[in-house]
Structure formats: C-alpha cells, structure tokens
Amino acid sequence: MQTLSETASPQARTGSADFDVIVVGAGFAGLYMLHRLRGLGFSVRVLEAASGVGGTWYWNRYPGARCDVESVEYSYQFSPELQQEWEWSERYATQPELLRYANHVADRFDLRRDIQFDLRVTAATFDEAANRWTIVTHDGARLSATYCVTATGCLSVPNEPKFKGTEMFAGPTYHTGRWPHEGVDFTGQRVGIIGTGSSAVQSVPIIAGQAEHLYVFQRTPSFVVPARNAPLSLSEQVAIKADYPALRALAKTRRNGLFCETRDVSALGVSDEERERAYRERWDRGGLCYTGTFNDLLIDSRANETAADFLRARIREVVKDPATAEALSPRTVVGGKRLCIDIGYYETFNRENVTLIDLNKAPLGEITRDGLTAGGKPYRLDSIVFAIGFDAMTGALTRIDIRGRGGARLAEKWAEGPRTYLGLSVAGFPNLFTITGPGSPSVLTNMLPTIEQHVDWVAECIGTMRERNFRRIEATQNAETAWVARVNEIAAGTLFPTCNSWYLGANIPGKPRVFMPYIGFPPYVEECNEIAASGYSGFALS
Ligand code: NA7
C-alpha cells in the first residue's frame, strides 16, 4: 500500500494507488467524510472534478446565487469551535460567502492534502475476489479502495438544454448551474432566460438590472416567498451562538431539520382571520418556514389551497399588470415543488425592460441564429440563460459507470427509479455508501445536518467493520425492497407526487417518475441509529 504522501502528488493521477476509502466529491459531504475517516485513522483519498472544494457552491455562480436556508443553520455543527468562530454576514449566505466557508473548512482541518482536484470519476467497479473497488478517472488513472463513498451531491448535474436549434444560436448561452467564473455582464443586451425555478427567481432581478431587455420564458410559475434577507448583526450572531446547542438539538426534532417549527394546527381548523394572520406572520418573517404555517399543508389539498390563495394575493398586490400577475400565479401545490425565496422577483416584472412569456400560451418553438421563437413569434436575443435545473439526486451517480457484484450496472438497476436501503446503500453493491442518496431525507431537509448525520453513520459503520474484522457490508435485497416501498408509501400520503418536480425526476424527459427523497428527518435518524445499534440489520456482513 502506498502512503498518503506518495500519492498526494499530481503524478499520482497517472499511477495507481490503494486506500481504505475513496470519496467521490469535495463538497460539504466529501469534506466532512474525509475529516471523520481521517480521524479514525483510515487512509482516504477524495476525488473532485472541480478545481476547488465547495461542490454545488463551486459551480452555481449565477448572479444572485445564495442558499435558501439561513446561513446560521446551513453550516456544520461537528466542530463547536468552527461554529463559534465563523461569522456569517447575512441572513442568507451568498454563493461567494458559502465558497469562502468551504475553503475555510478545508484549510482549518488541513483537508486539501488528501483531495485531488480536476479529476472526474468515470467508473467504479467492485472486484469480488479482491473485495475492493477500482475507481477510474477521466484521464485513465486507476485507484483502489476497500470502500467507496459517493458525496456527489443532489443537484450537481445540470439538466442539459435539448432545445431544437440550440447549436444554431449566434450568441453565448449560459447554464445557471455552470456559470463562468469570470462572471457575465449583460449590459446593453437583449437576454432570454428559460426556466422560473429558484435559480431564475434569484438571478432575474439582477440580470434585469443590467440588460437592455430581459425576456423570461416560463413553463410553470413557482411559489415564491420573500427572503427578507438582511445583514446579520453582531448581536444576532452572539445570541444564536450562545444558544447553538439547543437550537441544533431542536432542529433535529423537525421534519425538515430546520430551526423553525411546523405549527401543530390544521389550516382548516381555524377561523379565516386566524389563518390569514398566521400566513401573514410567516410571510413577514420570510423564508422556507411558510410551509410550516399549518401541519396539513402538504397532506391536504384544501388546506394547501388556502396557503396558495394567500401567496397569489401577494402577487396581485405587487405585479401591476393583471395578465402578468395571473401568469405568475401558480396553480400547483405550495411546497410540492421546492418553494423559492426571493429578493425583488415580482417587482422585476413591473420594469419596462422585462417581459414574461407564458410558454403554456406561447409554446417554445426553436432556437435560431438570432434568438428563439415562442408561440410562432421571434424574439431577438444576444444571450440565452438556461435556468432549467438539474438531473437531481440520481444524475451524478448514474453518470458514473458503477458496477457491483457480477458486473451489475447501477444505472441499469435504477432504470425504473432508484432503489436503495436508507438512501445509503444498494443491494448488489457491497462497500458502497451514497451520502444523501435517493431514499434518504436529503433535499427535503437542511442539507448540512443531513450530510453530517450520513457521514457520522458511515464513519461509525466502517469503524465498526474494522473493529469486528468484517471486510464486506451489503444491503440485503429484502431490506432494500421494503425500504423502497416505505419511501413510496410515505410520499403517497402527501401532496408531493401531484407536482412535476425534480423530486420526482419529472423535469427530465424520459426519467422514471419516482419520488426520491424520504419524508421525515427525525424518524429516519432514529431508524438509522437503531439499525446500527442492532448490528446493522438489513445488511449482510462478512
Ligand atoms: P428547477 O427548480 O428545476 O427549475 C427549473 C426551471 O426550468 C423550471 O421552471 C422548469 O419548468 C424550467 N424548465 C426545465 N426544462 C424546461 C424546458 N424544456 N422548457 C421550459 N422550461 C423548462 O431548477 P433551479 O436551478 O431553478 O433550482 C434547483 C434547486 O436549487 C432549487 O429547487 C433549490 O433547491 C436550489 P417546469 O417547472 O419543469 O415546468
């Protein structure tokens, strides 16, 4: 076995190297996985396609990009010192600030020496005889490890623009999820943006402030609540930091892992005045808490409609043109697609230089040399922005040629939808762990605590394997089948499946329509803990 110092050099890219664990991805999950495993004395190598750490915050540099979870919550808690020393400047951190934080963590815990950047993992094959994973990177380098941990992120593979004629367009095109590092100045340009999810809601006000004219091409309007972003004062930070352990503990009792509570009251069990007052209070507070105004918003469509009515009324108050206000008003379920939080999104549609095009009334035709057509009408454009989202949750995993026992391919196994046990492990793929994989709470929660819970569980599992002299762990077929059924059963009791969201893969043509996240953080954590305490029931160990 080579030592870490021998393999840390760039030359290792063309050689081979053996490790206890290879981690794919150096976002927040990969960084913490490395730290934990290193602490247990394992040899670890992290392979990262980007030139730096940060994962989604490395790539998503579009104008206005910021996290929709509050910065004091969207942060690690594994190190009380880190938690106390880092200072967030705003209620919602911008992408540059989040990237600075990721870099700070990498430096503070001396993580870089075990990370190789600019290396895209293309294949991972389990060798049964050797009981090892062979990992192949884009440049042909081969590395091997007893365990492979994927920390590839839930929103890391952009949805490719497959519009007819894209290649004909004479001007530049941009994808919000792969924004140029040097930034883009749209001054004096006619810009078209396709998509109205969170990335567009954040970038539209800023692009509109630069462009000569901005055309927003909308297929489905999003529900949007105000962020109420503001600088975080020193006194606010001091108060939160003094109370951090209690706040973090409380968040672990919440379905979505956030500080703010879901009120245990039905939207239909209160008077009209009380309901209006409750929505107003959450609206004024701003942020994702809005869906926690009542306990039945995501399970009862009549309850949800009251939350939707309140939001639609707010759109009409802001957007002056009634037809535009109506087009911006969603007819879907609040929270069924991820709620967006905004800073001046609706106000932007009152600008003279902004036009909303409802693609339901004027379907997208094709992209041409000079722009695009919608409803048969040509729109002359200098630049096009694709804000069309991601091949979420499974995209990063199925793009790697992952082969388990008997050469079985993960992408084939998941052809009808992802199948996992706990969202962490896949039958037929021993010693493979998928951090925040499909079938775990992941994107329905605050990602950072969820990542930490998975990483801690995996680290403890690998440590226990070593302690007990086991070399192989694999989810049983029965446990996996039962888990997939449970994930679906829970989702079926909610309104989530009614929306064509990326939670269901519905945004990607041809992707199987299967609800991927597990709903409910606390029971999930409890179950993971019980499984570990029972000696890993549902897994075969040898
Ligand atoms: P989203 O939320 O998936 O939004 C993508 C948007 O692009 C959405 O409005 C889509 O409409 C639209 N879209 C996708 N494909 C097309 C085509 N072919 N034609 C027209 N419009 C299209 O991605 P974001 O990047 O905004 O946000 C992702 C997550 O990041 C977000 O949920 C937060 O968690 C942070 P559709 O709704 O599918 O009709």
Query: Would you give per-residue pLDDT tens digits along the chain (542 residues)?
Result: 333 333 343 334 434 489 999 999 999 999 999 999 999 999 999 999 999 999 999 999 999 999 999 999 999 999 999 999 999 999 999 999 999 999 999 999 999 999 999 999 999 999 999 999 999 999 999 999 999 999 999 999 999 999 999 999 999 999 999 999 999 999 999 999 999 999 999 999 999 999 999 999 999 999 999 999 999 999 999 999 999 999 999 999 998 999 999 999 999 999 999 999 999 999 999 999 999 999 999 999 999 999 999 999 999 999 999 999 999 999 999 999 999 999 999 999 999 999 999 999 999 999 999 999 999 999 999 999 999 999 999 999 999 999 999 999 999 999 999 999 999 999 999 999 999 999 999 999 999 999 999 999 999 999 999 999 999 999 999 999 999 999 999 999 999 999 999 999 999 999 999 999 999 999 999 999 999 999 999 999 99
Could you give the CA distance from residue 283 to residue 225 in angstroms, rounded to a whole number?
7
CA of 510 to the centre of ligand 1 (A): 16
| Helix 272-285 / helix 301-318 crossing angle, nearest 10 deg | 60
Shortest-distance atom of ligand 1 to CA 389: 23
Is the Cβ atom of 46 under 6 angstroms away from ligand 1?
Answer: no
SS3 174: strand
CA of 196 to the centre of ligand 1 (A): 6
How far, in Å, are 397, 425, 464, 470 from residue 474 at the CA level?
18, 7, 14, 11
DSSP string, 88-148: --BSS-BHHHHHHHHHHHHHHTT-GGGEE-S--EEEEEEETTTTEEEEEETTS-EEEEEEE
Q: Please list, in sequence order, all residues whose beta carbon lies within 8 angstroms of the beta carbon of residue 332, skipping any fewer than 6 positions away.
A: 220, 223, 498, 499
Tokens in use for 179?
């924004």
Is the Cβ atom of 387 under 6 angstroms away from ligand 1?
Answer: yes
Tokens in use for 256?
């979505």
Could you give the CA distance from residue 26 to residue 156 in angstroms, rounded to a whole number?
12
Run of H or E including 378 = strand 377-380
Could you give the CA distance from residue 33 to residue 148 in angstroms, rounded to a whole number?
11
Tokens in use for 387?
């804000």
How far, in Å, are 42, 359, 441, 537 from residue 460 at the CA level?
12, 50, 19, 15
Is the Cβ atom of 447 under 6 angstroms away from ligand 1?
Answer: no
Is the Cβ atom of 200 under 6 angstroms away from ligand 1?
Answer: yes
CA of 194 to the centre of ligand 1 (A): 9
Residue with CA at minimum distance from ligand 1 atom 15: 388
Q: Cβ atoms within 10 A of the Cβ of 411, count? A: 14
Residue with CA at minimum distance from ligand 1 atom 25: 389
Is the Cβ atom of 388 under 6 angstroms away from ligand 1?
Answer: yes
Could you give the CA distance from residue 504 to residue 88 in angstroms, rounded to a whole number?
33
Could you give the CA distance from residue 176 to residue 462 in angstroms, rounded to a whole number?
37
Tokens in use for 40?
């247990």
CA of 499 to the centre of ligand 1 (A): 12
Is the Cβ atom of 386 under 6 angstroms away from ligand 1?
Answer: no
Of 199, 328, 444, the one to substitute when testing ligand 1's pocket (max ligand atoms within 8 A of C-beta) is: 199
Q: Cβ atoms within 10 A of the Cβ of 208, count? A: 22
Q: Residue type at 520?
A: G
Beta carbons of 145 and 135 less than 8 angstroms apart: yes
Looking at residue 17, what is its pLDDT?
Answer: 87
**Sign of the C-alpha dihedral, residues 20, 24, 29, 30?**
positive
CA of 216 to the centre of ligand 1 (A): 13
Is the Cβ atom of 365 under 6 angstroms away from ligand 1?
Answer: no
Could you give the CA distance from residue 496 to residue 337 in angstroms, rounded to a whole number?
7
3-class DSSP string for 13-44: HCCEEEEEEEEECCCHHHHHHHHHHHHCCCCE
Is the Cβ atom of 195 under 6 angstroms away from ligand 1?
Answer: yes
SS3 265: coil
Beta carbons of 454 and 532 less than 8 angstroms apart: no
Run of H or E including 366 = strand 364-367
CA of 388 to the centre of ligand 1 (A): 4
Helices in 171-320 by DSSP H: which ranges?
198-210, 234-251, 272-285, 301-318
Could you give the CA distance from residue 106 to residue 379 in angstroms, rounded to a whole number?
46
Of 66, 74, 198, the one to substitute when testing ligand 1's pocket (max ligand atoms within 8 A of C-beta) is: 198
CA of 392 to the centre of ligand 1 (A): 11
Looking at residue 151, what is its pLDDT?
Answer: 98
Of 393, 507, 516, the one to substitute when testing ligand 1's pocket (max ligand atoms within 8 A of C-beta) is: 507
286-312 burial: b if 16+ Cβ within 10 Å, else e: bbbbbbbbbbbbbebeebbebbbebbb
Q: Which DSSP state fits 426?
A: B
Beta carbons of 303 and 294 less than 8 angstroms apart: yes
Shortest-distance atom of ligand 1 to CA 222: 9
Residue with CA at minimum distance from ligand 1 atom 24: 389
Could you give the CA distance from residue 324 to residue 346 in angstroms, rounded to a whole number?
10
CA of 522 to the centre of ligand 1 (A): 29
CA of 222 to the centre of ligand 1 (A): 9
Is the Cβ atom of 176 under 6 angstroms away from ligand 1?
Answer: yes
Residue with CA at minimum distance from ligand 1 atom 29: 198
Is the Cβ atom of 198 under 6 angstroms away from ligand 1?
Answer: yes
